Amino acid sequence: MIPAALKYVEVDSAAAAVAALSEYGDDAKLMAGGHSLIPLMRFRLAAPAVIVDISRMGGLSDIRDAGEHISVGALARHHVVENSELLQAQAPLLAHVASKVGDPSVRHRGTLGGSMAHGDPASDLPAAVLALGGSVVLQGPDGERVVAADDFFTGFLETATAETEIITEIRIPKSSAGWSFQKFNRRAQDWAIVGVAAVLGDDPRVSLINMGPSPMRASAVEAALAGGASMAEAASLATDGTAAPTDLNGDADYRGHLARVFVERALVEAAG
């Protein structure tokens, strides 16, 4: 629980962060809330030579109405997302999911951008952004680009973020559709053994937590719903295309069962 030696760099703007990333290359890691990175460093599972601390950068934690979507600054902490009246009104799933992450101390440090950047398949918030059809704004040496959440998570703890890019913003389309978030765990503050986020409406979107190497959508469920299947029929397809892990909390087949149960519960609740 003692991290290895490292160089600490604090930056005050996204441009400075990008400059630091360009300078140090893959020796460097950005740190926002640090709630994923620091435990890895303390276990010496990660030993970045340089930490670029972006937590005190100004202007990147605002949540504002951008017309079609809500713009959430990458440094918005979970408790800010949880308590944002704008999100509660326009994308209530995201605010709700933020309230279910970890415990209060985690929610006062962790950031939405950090959660997206880490891309942990067991994390709650990436699933919410996926279900809401959100997108991620990346800033790099050559300017800004926007990547849909659908294309953002590329593998286990891997995202579309390039080595020299920083997430500046997460865009969440406004949504008044029925939604549900289901999280099954053994203790309140734990990661989900399996979780489900669902947003119904014209284009139903369902995402799964901890059912594969990365945050993922339950495409077969969505297609079945779009094709007019019943909720039970759709839910029975919850494990199509998944690759659930086996760990101390559950084997892959048990997770598959849970996915079917909670997808159905999510669909029922979202439709209710």
Partner 1 sequence: MTIMGTPRLRKEDPKLLTGEGKFVDDIHAPGELWMGMVRSPYAHAKIVSVDTAEAAAHSGVHAVYSGKDLEEMGLWIAPLPCVWPVTDDMLNPPHVPVVTEEANFVGEIVAVVLADSRYGAVDAAELVEVSYEELPAVASLDAAVTGDALAHSDLDTNKAYHWPLVPDPDALDAAFANAAHTVTGTFVQQRLIPAAMEPRGVLAVPSPHGGDITLYSSSQVPHILKVMVAATTGIPENKIRIVAPAVGGGFGAKLNINPDEILAVTLANRLGLPVRWTETRSEAAFSTHQGRGQNQTIEIAADAKGKILGVRVHLDADMGAYMRLITPGVPLLGSFLYTGVYDVPAFGFTCDGYFTNLTPTDAYRGAGRPEASYAIERAMDLLANEVGVGPDEIRRRNYLNGGEAFQDLEVASTLVFDSGHYGPNLDKALELSDYASLRAEQQRRREAGESKQLGIGLCTYVEICGLAPSRALAGLNYGAGGWEHALVRFLPTGKVEVVTGSTPHGQGHETSWSMIVADKLGVDPDDVEVLHSDTAISPLGLDTYGSRSLSVGGVAISMACDKVVEKARLIAAHQLEANPDDLEFSGGVFRVKGTPTAELPIQGIAYEAFTAHNLPDGMEPNLQEQMTFDPPNFAFPFGTHVAVVEVDEDTGGVTLVGYTAVDDCGPQVNPLIVEGQVHGGIVQGVAQALWEEAVYDEAGNCKNPSFLDYLVPSSMEVPSMVLDSTETPSTSNPLGVKGVGEAGTIGSAAAVINAVCDALSPYGVTDIEMPATPQKIWRKIQDAKGGEA
Q: Which residues bind partner 1 (CB under 8 A)?
A: 1-2, 4-5, 39, 43, 103, 184, 186-190, 193, 247-251, 254, 257-258, 261
Q: In terms of CB distance, is 20 or 51 closer to partner 1?
A: 51
Q: Whole-number minimum distance, CB 263 to partner 1, in Å? A: 12
The nearer residue to partner 1, 241 or 256, going by C-beta atoms, is 256
Q: Which of 21, 98, 12 is nearest to 59 (CA)?
A: 12
> Smallest distance, Å, CB 118 to partner 1?
15
- Tell me whether residue 24 or residue 191 sits nearer to partner 1 (CB atom): 191
Q: Output 165 or 264, the one with its CB closest to partner 1.
A: 264
Residue 221 C-beta: closest distance to partner 1, Å: 17
Q: How far is the CB of 101 from partner 1 (least distance, A)?
A: 14
Shortest separation between residue 44's beta carbon and partner 1, angstroms: 8
- Do residues 133 and 222 make contact, with C-beta atoms less than 8 angstroms apart? no
Q: Per-residue b/e over 69-105, b at no fewer than 16 CB within 10 Å?
A: bbbbbbbbbbbbbbebebbeebbbbbbbbbbbbbeee
Residue 71 vs 249, nearer CB to partner 1: 249
How near is the Cβ of 104 to partner 1 at its closest, in Å?
A: 11
Query: For residues 122 and 170, which CB has a smaller minimum distance to partner 1 in the complex?
Result: 122
Nearer to partner 1, 41 or 75 (CB): 41
Backbone angles phi, psi at 176, to 5 degrees: -115, 10
- What is the smallest separation between the CB atom of 109 and partner 1, expressed in angstroms? 16
